[in-house]
């Protein structure tokens, strides 16, 4: 049995559905998880889907993925723009890794233009709403 694909979510993404829906859409994180489960299972993979508001917990999840995952997808949310710790943890991976965003940070406030994560992952997908998760999953599966 193949190892699962880890899908990690950073701070405030637990509020999707009610948080700034004009930017992030109406889907809840649970809706997104179900859609990911379906896409992954059609390709023969299980997923492990997690969310944390705490930077160190996300570092722990990435370290767990080093051993337990075949690929990693991460929406680091606000930590994208601040976290050297997530950058360093992602650099330790030798599995495919995809940074995803619902919105297109490059079109928003200037503080969102810097991603510490982009320099440490295989590739980035952003701006497609909840569909960014599907596209990220497809990109990871193609690399497996
Ligand atoms: C986000 C974009 C980030 O800039 C923001 O802090 C988020 C969500 C996105 O998915 O569009 O919380 O990662």
Among positive and negative, which fits the CA dihedral 49, 45, 120, 134?
Answer: negative
The pair of three-digit structure tokens given for residue 101, joined into one six-digit string: 């965003």
Among left, alpha and beta (phi > 0; psi -120 to 50; other), residue 25 is left
Q: Which domains does the chain have, with CATH numbers?
A: 5-143 (3.40.50.9100)
Determine the pLDDT at residue 31: 98
Ligand 1 centre from 49 Cα, in Å?
17
Q: Establish whether residue 39 lines the binding site of ligand 1, counting it when its CB lies within 6 angstroms of any ligand atom.
A: no
Determine the pLDDT at residue 87: 98
Per-residue confidence band for 57, with pLDDT thresholds at 50, 70 and 90:
very high
Catalytic, out of 24, 45, 79, 116: 24
pTM (predicted TM-score): 0.97
Q: Rounded distance, CA 69 to CA 142, Å? A: 15
CA angle 57, 59, 65 (to 5 degrees): 105
The pair of three-digit structure tokens given for residue 87, joined into one six-digit string: 């950058």
| Ligand 1 atom 9: residue of nearest CA | 101
Per-residue confidence band for 54, with pLDDT thresholds at 50, 70 and 90:
very high
Of ligand 1's listed atoms, the one at least distance from the Cα of 112 is 4
Active site residue 81: no
């Amino acid at each position: 049995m193949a190892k699962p694909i880890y899908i990690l979510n950073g701070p405030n993404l637990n509020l999707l559905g009610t948080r700034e829906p004009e930017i992030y859409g109406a889907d809840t994180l649970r809706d997104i998880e179900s859609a990911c489960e379906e896409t992954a299972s059609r390709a023969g993979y299980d997923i492990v889907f997690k969310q944390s508001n705490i930077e160190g917990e996300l570092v722990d999840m990435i370290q767990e993925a080093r051993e337990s995952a075949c690929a990693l997808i991460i929406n680091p949310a606000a930590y994208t723009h601040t976290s050297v710790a997530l950058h360093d943890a992602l650099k330790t991976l030798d599995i495919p890794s995809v940074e995803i965003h619902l919105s297109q940070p490059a079109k928003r406030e200037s503080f969102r233009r810097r991603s510490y994560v982009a320099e440490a992952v295989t590739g980035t997908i952003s701006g497609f709403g909840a569909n960014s998760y599907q596209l990220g999953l497809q990109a990871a599966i193609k690399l497996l």
